[in-house]
Structure 1
Amino acid sequence: MIRKKVLCSSIVLAVMLLSKLYSSAHSASKRDPIRTAMLAQVEKRKKAIALSPEKQKEAYYSSIRFADRRVPLQNPTVEVKFERYLANFSFRRQQSYDLHKKAAKHLPKIASILRSYGIPEDFKYIPLIESDMNPRVTSHRGAGGYWQFMPATARLYGLRVDGQVDERKDLIKSTHAAARYLKSLYKEFDDWTLVAAAYNVGGGNLKSTIRRQGTRDYYKLRLNKETGSYIYKLVSVKQVIENPNKHGYKRYAKMDDKYQHINEQNLL
């Protein structure tokens, strides 16, 4: 009899326990829609923050590099100069796809040659800045060809320049010469950003400036207008070529931009 009472009590207790568990689970399930809605709101807010123009700009600018070195766009002076030149190369200002056509035609060949010498690929943009990929361009000082070599420098690095032949106008030969010249500058400066500046102003001139001013940081050096804008132009051209959709070149929108933040849409 006692055993029967104990068994009955156990069954009742088990039923009560199961009933309570079911009730708790049922209540929790009723709360789930509210919790789900709240989580959805949190995620929506996080996404809105990630997609805000400020956050997009911050993420994009932190990705910008020249020769694998980050451009210090957190510096307000650097940021202002960069934005000025970037605007100059945007589709809004250019109203032309010529830059991208020339890049598509010539840059793969240039990049391949530079890689064979161990030169960072970002230097392939130099001919776009120097000559606009026009081999017939000649400066008032006598620099000519795709890479705008002075005659003496061209000869020093293996090009024939005389009354009959001007190999500065040969894209392949002049690019090999430019790669040799860039390598020699790197031996002098051991910094690719300074190498690009030296390519523009000359190694001797840049060394004198560094010695006088006591800094090797390109972004802190006080340089002539052309050299002081040189890296900004190279980086700006790189951005519009690699991210055409972002900078208004909609004909190239079918191509994925090289930079694309996970939460970013091309709003520019």
Structure 2
Amino acid sequence: MSDSRYALIISIASLLTVLVVAFYGINKNVKQDQYIERPKRPIAFTNAKTIPLPGKIDLAGEVVPLDIDDVKERLDKELHINSYWHNNTIFLFKRASRWFPIIEPILKENGIPDDFKYLALIESGLENVQSYAGAVGFWQILKSTGREYGLEINRDVDERYHPIKSTEAACKYFKRAFNKFGNWTLVAASYNRGMRGMQNALDHQKVDNYYDLMLNDETSRYVFRILAIKQIFETPEDYGLDISKEHLYQPYQYRFDTLRNSTDWVEYANEQKVTYKTLRIYNPWIQDDDIRVGRGEYYVVSLPK
């Protein structure tokens, strides 16, 4: 390579280097200037405030001893959790508007205090969910318990999902538990721990009420979760919730049909002029695409009115 050609290459390379450095230097200065001149934005905070405890509160007419420090603190915790868990608590109001009109009369007919409707809220949020232990439906009933209290559970039907029949089964449990304990607070706690578990804890610790028991975390919170939801439902505005009635879910309007023969549910839905999806929504106890109906048996099917 000639000396003149080599010198030309060196000159071009040097010029390119200078241009690149100048370009990035200008860009850097511009970015720095923009950063320096950019107005500072205020940090947004949610207005969170401590919530005062009610002067008194009861479960099914049984007064909660708020003079006991740990009792007061456990209620305090659940009130704050549910007050600031806005999306969950709002949807409890929405679904309760649809299902409480069905649940409340059944509790009343069976002599169960109205406060027990809140058990269904903390058990399932009034959704037909299934727990890791296999408990299902609004009342989170195990298969063995459901059968014990008269629910039909098989390939075709699972009445633990039936809003009326599952509530009636829960009432049978509540009445049996009250005959055992004579105390509604212990009845509520036993729905979580079981009657035998509650009795064993009472005997072992030599006390006679829920609030004096040392229990596992789940059962220790259980009654206070009920109390917190009850308090928030009774005076939602005191807990920062603006619940518009027009936004609540309305109860389903039903008509009923008695099914006495085995059938394919899709064909049945078409005959009833509804979709299969609607049929399943109105009858969550249906478990398969068809149903076998024995001689002398029948099923009452709910349909949109």
TM-score (norm 2): 0.61
Q: How does 1:23-38 map to 2 (within 5 A)?
A: none
Q: Matched residue of 2:85: which SS?
A: helix
- Is 1:234 aligned with 2:235? no
Alignment of 1:134 onto 2:127: yes
Q: 2:55 aligns with which of 46, 52, 61?
A: 61
CA contact (8 A) 2:106 2:168 kept: yes
How far 1:108 moved relative to its partner? 2.5
- How far 1:107 sits from its partner (Å)? 1.4
**What is the CA distance between 1:251 and its match in structure 2?**
3.1
Q: Within 5 A, what are the aligned runs for 1:1-268? A: 60-62=54-56, 64-90=57-83, 92-95=84-87, 97-135=90-128, 137-252=129-244
Counterparts of 2:80 and 2:233, CA distance in 1: 13
Q: CA deviation at 1:98?
A: 0.8
Contact 1:131 1:145 in 2 (8 A): yes
How large is the Cα RMSD of the aligned pairs? 1.8
Residue 142 to residue 95, structure 1, CA distance change in 2 (3 Å): closer
Helix, strand or coil at the partner of 2:238: coil
Q: Is 1:103–1:241's contact at 8 Å kept on the other side of the alignment?
A: no
Shift of 1:232: 0.1
Q: 1:168 to 1:191 in 2, by over 3 A?
A: same
State the Cα deviation string for residues 19-76 of structure 1 (Å, max 9, x = none): xxxxxxxxxxxxxxxxxxxxxxxxxxxxxxxxxxxxx957x322x1101011111222
Letter of the aligned partner of 1:61 in structure 2?
A: G
State how far apart, in whole Å, the 2-side matches of 1:143 and 1:161 are: 12
Task: Give the Cα separation in 1 of the matches to 2:157 and 2:220.
Answer: 34
Alpha-carbon distance, 1:239 to partner: 0.9
CA shift at 1:141, angstroms? 1.4
Shift of 1:252: 4.5
Flag the 1:74–1:167 CA change in 2: closer, same or farther, 3 A: same
How far apart are residue 175 of structure 1 and its match?
A: 0.3
Equivalent residues of 2:92, 2:126 under 8 A apart? no
SS at match of 1:250: coil
Bigger helix fraction:
1
Shift of 1:253: 9.5
Q: Give the gaps of 5 or more residues in structure 1.
A: 1-55, 255-268
* Deviations 1:123-180 (CA, angstroms, capped at 9, x unpaired): 0011111111111x11121111110111111111111111221111111110011101
**3-state DSSP class of the match of 2:139?**
coil
Q: Which runs of 4+ in 1 moved over 2 A?
A: 251-254
- Please give the TM-score of this superposition, normalised by the length of structure 1: 0.69
Counterpart-to-counterpart distance in 1, 2:215 and 2:106: 30
The number of residue pairs the alignment matches comes to 195
Aligned counterparts of 2:243 and 2:102: Cα–Cα separation in 1: 23
Whether the aligned pair in 2 keeps the contact of 1:88 and 1:94 (CA below 8 Å) is: no
Instruction: Give distance in 2, aligned partners of 1:144 and 1:105.
Output: 19
Deviation at 1:221, TM superposition (A): 0.3
Matches of 1:112 and 1:235, distance apart in 2 = 21
Q: Residue type matched to 1:93 in 2?
A: W
